Chain A
Amino acid sequence: MKAPLSWIKEYVSLPEDLGVEEITDRLTALGLKLEAIETSGAGIDGPLVVGQVLTAEKEPQKNGKTINWCSVDVGDANGTGEPQGIVCGAHNFVPGDKVVVILPGGVLPGNFQISARKTYGHMSAGMICSARELGLGEEADGIIVLPPDAPAPGTDAREVLGLGEEVIEFEINPDRAYALSMRGIARDAALGFDVPFHDPAQRDVPLANADGYPVRIEDESGCDYFVARTVTGFDPTAPTPEFIKKRLEQVGVRSISLGVDITNYVMFELGHPIHAYDRAKLTGPIVVRRAHEGEKLTTLDDTVRELDPEDLVVCDDTGPIGLGGVMGGASTEISETTTDVLVEVAHWDPRSMFRTGRRHKLTSEAGKRNERGVDPLLPPIAADRVVELLVEYGGGVAEPGVTEVGPGASPETRKPLTTITIPTSLPARIIGIDLGDDTVVKCLELIGAQVEVEGDTLTATVPTYRTDLNDPYDLVEEVARIVGYDQVPSVLPRRATGRGLTRAQQLRRRIGRTLAGAGLVEVVDFPFVGEADFDRLGLPADDVLRHTVKLANPLSSEEPGYTTTLLPGLLKVAARNVSRGQDGVALFETATVAFPVDQAAPIYGVDRRPTEEELEKLLAAIPRQPLHLAVVLAGERTRGGWWGSAETASWADAIDVVRRLGTELGVAVEVASASRAPWHPGRCAVVSVDGVEFGHAGELHPNVCKAFGLPARSAAVEIDLDFLISKVPATAAGPVFSTMPVAKEDVALIVSSDVTVAAVEAALREGAGPLLETVRLFDVYEGDQVGEGNKSLAFALRFRAPDRTLTAEETAAARDAAVARAAELTGAVQR
């Protein structure tokens, strides 16, 4: 919201010596936040004066242009009183016109230094200025021609041009609809500096009568007040007066025609949107109703709109002629031939305005005000003000007929004033500051409320222009902003007695540190996913992961889903790192994924807490969102160097990530072979705890590496971290270990190639009995010596007794039992 300071000052007696920054500081503190201060003519320096063109000789030039060689009277401004010779390229003036001249030594915006210089064969001593050159507008149809009654040549032109005027741009919060007008801003300025406010809405208006244009409201819930006035004999060619033009430009509205400009001007002045019709184009009485199914309307912006039965429309006998309160229709628009103007000021239901605006994707200055709430008493006042200006500047005559319909028209039927009762101490208590009751009452009176104190409570009757004030705490905010938010002391609350982080929160941190400690780098990525991602993962068409929560309005139509797997994003990030020159990347990401549940979440009322059953129903409709961990290892896992060559990441590194987490967290993770996209079918492990699978790890399928642009043999992990965390024992059991000497035995076993190490190891454990402390595979051999289809597994067994040194016989017996059991269960033959 832009507001010229001079316009604000019309309605508030601000001290003359108050600077614009003091004003904006105060208003910002009151909640009207300063965005920017624009000063017109900023960047102009030196002699800028009124000049009068004495002669202008047209001289065609070789480049095809024609210039004017002018002599210009600049009074005594040039020190000599002699006419000034100036070359000018514009042609929109004649000798005798008053113009704006910048003399040598002056500076124009953009640090454009003006000096006497030779051009087109003349010594041009200065420049005749256009609005654009002065930084006053984009129009450059020619130079500025001042009205004939402009001051004498040589007078400083700044005042004539209104230069140096400050336009303040405010950021107005949605609740402060009243501040979308000079009236509202001036009112806050007045209370801010405790100076008198002159309400521009304070005017006597003619009483309603039966002679006005006939209007009927069929839907009073949508429109409770409709005022219509008519001006006849209006001159559609009359120019908009300069002050209106200038102010509209300052607030950021284009000047269109006198009729339209006046409705806009009054809207910015008072805050109430206004619509003007060409009465000659109306057929029969005006009716306000909801649109009928299938009705259409061409709005002012020449768009044909399919109307919704909820839309409020203004109609005549031909059907809808306007989208009430949002945008007028094209058929009854005022134009350059309009002589009879019908002025509509109506009070609309904000909710309907909001819905219609959103439905038709229409944002307008009128809609913005109507949907936030306007002063319901303004319609006759705004209408009268518009009529006044149309008559004054358009030469028309105000018809005596005044139409006022709807319950809002009469004090008996209009909505009663809002009253709010609060304990007088409430503002002080909530702000946390000592406030006398008098201060509270005064603050509320300053905003225009009528306050009655009774015992410990006060009742504020809220002024009509403050549609935002409804609740007790609304009054607290008013008191707080007037007393000043800077007065709020800084006091820590006294008694938070929390229990620290939850177990799961601690474990998540621990997992992150463990992974980082293992050389993995955490990344954060977006969760949006598309079919192409699943295709690149090689997921079958019916894979459950393809069933995503769909977004109605995704940022990219290529990624319309909320992901079920972290891998597509992470693989892309890995590829990005590789393409940026990393020889090896080891990444991890922890984030929730989502699986749809086909249930609707209810929308409850907000006047009470939902019951437990209601709450349960609500929570059950939210997609299941487990926390996942994904890891990708691509390229070098360890670097090469003087110590040896680099090691490439492999399926084993991926599986080790899960094993390492299991070790860190005290969870026994089981690993078994599996076949699952996007992994290599022969190099994929499913991981489980207590027989429940919670993810996969291994080498990626070669096609997946190719599809994502990753090095061959890249490996990946994805697990359900919530599940793993749920399996972490509450406390780690302290180990019991023997300090007796260890006895070591190595065994090499030949088994069929399809026997897993895990199976052999389990058999060895089982056979060895309680004396076995650890068993560890230290070599695998495949080749001639063990025969085709076989492999040799070398295990190191460590035996120890809790209470004694083992004898060689005891150790050998345990070893033999282990080997025997392995032979029995896996067909192992000792080498």
Chain B
Amino acid sequence: MSGPNTDYDPVEVTPLKAEEVEAARDAALTAIAAANSLEELKQTRLDHAGDRSPLALANREIGALPPAARKEAGQRVGKARGAVNQALAARQKVLEAEHEARMLVEETVDVTLPTDRVPAGGRHPLTTGAEYIADIFVAMGWEVAEGPLIEAEWLNFDALNLGPDHPARTMQDTFWTEPAENHVVLRTHTSPVQARTMLTREAPIYVVCPGRVFRTDEYDATHSPMFHQVEGLAIDEGISMANLKGTLDHFATQMFGEGIVTRFRPSYFPFTEPSAEVDLTCFVCRGAQVVDAGDGQLVTCRTCKGEGWIEWGGCGIVNPRVLIACGVDPERYSGFAFGMGIDRTLMFRTGLSDLRTLFEGDVRLTTAFGSEL
């Protein structure tokens, strides 16, 4: 508020004097610049841009001026107020940014704090391993076949050319169910699924069957009464050992990487003829028989015991006697079959050394593999 106009001269109102307006403006700008927080700036705004601030009061006086003087005074005050408001906005922006930055700094947390409120789950590597293998074959256009773990003796043995007195029946120490005259066993291999598949499907057949099998082995680091196999069966016109080799080489490469292939050795299985043992290029030394001990010294590979190969499974051309028992015309079709230990394959791939680790259920095993192999 201006003082009383003692010496009334409308042209010469004190607050509207140029010096006064400039002084008020400068005082405002100085105060704005000096405001160091949003709080201070708020006060500064009240003091210098509020309704009762000098410039606001000066503005109110303009109306009292003679019309001739209003324009100039209005311009002067308006300009000053504009400058103050602009400074206020700029300062506000700066202080807000500073405030925000400070807030963010204050809200800093230790991101290394533990975050595992809900423990992780996981799928067993035997499950995901079997899926991994199945997918290799599904990608080639094969299907996944299944069968029960408790199986008819005829399907587990007879249909596969293992007659009642076949010496191979004693090789596979079988869990028999009671009463014996019911002729039901815990399947000793996944091969009865071959028989089931041939009995229920028309050729051509391309199936793979991962699954659980049982033998009366004592339980130790390399033997288990329950273990897992993957069986493969292809029945088609013109199937040969070369196709078997091609398929297993592909399987080996997909499972263990480029450069890992198979080798066949003559063997004997009642359900295949010719039969072969399958060796795999040692995936540690990759067939070199020696590995770098870490200091440039080459030492004998421990995984393959310096042979460059490791035993992987058995395979062969499906014995025509099996085809006949399962209703496939051996004159028209031939086939191959193979069987590998999944547990063993998995141990190769993951470096596990004790088979029992897979079956004792320690969560640390499963969670180490997550949800896929």
Give residues in A with beta carbon < 8 Å to B. 28-31, 33, 173-176, 351, 354-355, 358, 371-372, 429-433, 471-474, 476-477, 480-481, 485-486, 488-493, 495-502, 505, 509, 512-513, 515-528, 549-555, 562, 570, 573-574, 576-577, 580, 582, 584-587, 591-592, 594, 599-604, 606-610, 615, 618-619, 621-623, 625, 636, 638-639, 641-643
Contact = CB atoms under 8 A, between A and B. Distances in A.
Interface stretch (B3-11, B32-40, B86-94, B238-246): B238-246
B61 interface: no
A524 to B, nearest CB: 5
Given A174-B168, A492-B246, A604-B154, A525 B359 contact: yes
Interface in B323-373: 324-327, 334, 358-363, 366-367, 370-371
Given A519-B120, A609-B326, A642-B113, A477 B266 contact: yes
Contacts of B212: 591
B290 interface: no
B154 A602 contact: yes
A143 B130 CA distance: 60
A490 B249 contact: yes
Given A488-B241, A604-B154, A562 B177 contact: yes
Contacts of B71: none
Contacts of B74: none
A509 B184 CA distance: 29
A604 B327 CA distance: 13
Interface stretch (B16-24, B46-54, B135-143, B295-303): B135-143
A195 to B, nearest CB: 20
Contacts of A486: 263-264
A434 to B, nearest CB: 11
Contact of B240 (A430, A497, A552, A573): A430
A498 B143 contact: yes
B224 to A, nearest CB: 8
B256 interface: no
B7 to A, nearest CB: 69
A164 to B, nearest CB: 22
B274 A618 contact: no
22 contacts: A33-B267, A174-B268, A175-B268, A354-B165, A429-B334, A431-B274, A473-B273, A485-B263, A485-B276, A522-B122, A523-B366, A551-B175, A551-B178, A551-B186, A555-B218, A555-B219, A582-B363, A600-B181, A603-B154, A606-B159, A618-B152, A619-B152
Contacts of B267: 31, 33, 173
Contact of A371 (B150, B167, B247): B167
B176 A552 contact: yes
A551 B176 contact: yes
Contacts of B360: 573, 576
Contacts of B165: 351, 354-355
Contacts of B149: 527, 592, 594, 625
A598 to B, nearest CB: 8
Given A499-B143, A500-B138, A622-B184, 8 more contacts: A33-B277, A372-B167, A471-B321, A476-B274, A477-B275, A496-B234, A512-B127, A615-B199
A577 B177 contact: no
Contact of B119 (A505, A528, A584, A599): A584
B199 A522 contact: no
Nearest to A611: B327
Contacts of A433: 240-242
Contacts of B151: 622
Contacts of B276: 485
B64 interface: no
A485 B265 CA distance: 6
B interface majority secondary structure: mixed
Interface in B116-134: 116-124, 126-127, 131, 134
Contacts of B175: 551-554
Contacts of A521: 121-122, 363, 366-367
Nearest to A574: B361
A643 B325 contact: no
B205 to A, nearest CB: 9
Nearest to B277: A33
A787 to B, nearest CB: 38
A497 B268 contact: no
B261 interface: yes
A325 to B, nearest CB: 14
A21 to B, nearest CB: 12
B13 to A, nearest CB: 59
B231 to A, nearest CB: 15
B67 interface: no
B162 to A, nearest CB: 10
B229 interface: no
B97 interface: no
A443 B177 CA distance: 46
Given A174-B167, A643-B117, A603 B274 contact: no
A552 B183 CA distance: 11
Nearest to A363: B170
Given A496-B142, A498-B141, A519 B184 contact: no
Chain B: interface size category: 35 or more
Contacts of B124: 522-524
Nearest to B148: A625
B274 A523 contact: no
B368 to A, nearest CB: 11
Which one of A477, A505, A554, A574 has the greatest number of beta carbons of chain B within 10 Å?
A: A477
Which one of A355, A601, A618, A625 has the greatest number of beta carbons of chain B within 10 Å?
A: A601
B242 A608 contact: no
Contacts of B370: 516
Contacts of B159: 606
Contacts of A490: 242, 245-246, 249, 261
B150 A493 contact: no
Nearest to B126: A524
Given A473-B319, A495-B236, A551-B176, A519 B243 contact: no
Contacts of A485: 241, 263-266, 276
Nearest to A618: B152
Contacts of A587: 361, 363
A492 B140 contact: yes
B204 interface: yes
A609 B150 contact: no
Contact of A609 (B126, B199, B266): B199
Contact of B206 (A496, A574, A615): A496
A429 B320 CA distance: 14
B216 A555 contact: yes
Contacts of A577: 361-363
B359 A526 contact: yes
A555 B225 contact: yes
A562 B150 contact: yes
Contacts of B263: 485-486
B153 A603 contact: yes
Nearest to A516: B121
A603 B183 contact: yes
Contacts of A492: 140, 243, 246-247, 250
A9 to B, nearest CB: 23
Contacts of B181: 600
B191 interface: no
Contacts of B111: none
Contacts of A641: 113-114, 116-117
Interface in B205-244: 206, 212, 216, 218-219, 225-226, 234, 236, 238-244
Contacts of A472: 320
A524 B247 contact: no
B182 A621 contact: yes
B242 A519 contact: no
A491 B361 contact: no
A724 B207 CA distance: 26
Contact of B242 (A431, A474, A516): A431
A515 B124 CA distance: 12
A486 B264 CA distance: 7
Contacts of B163: 606
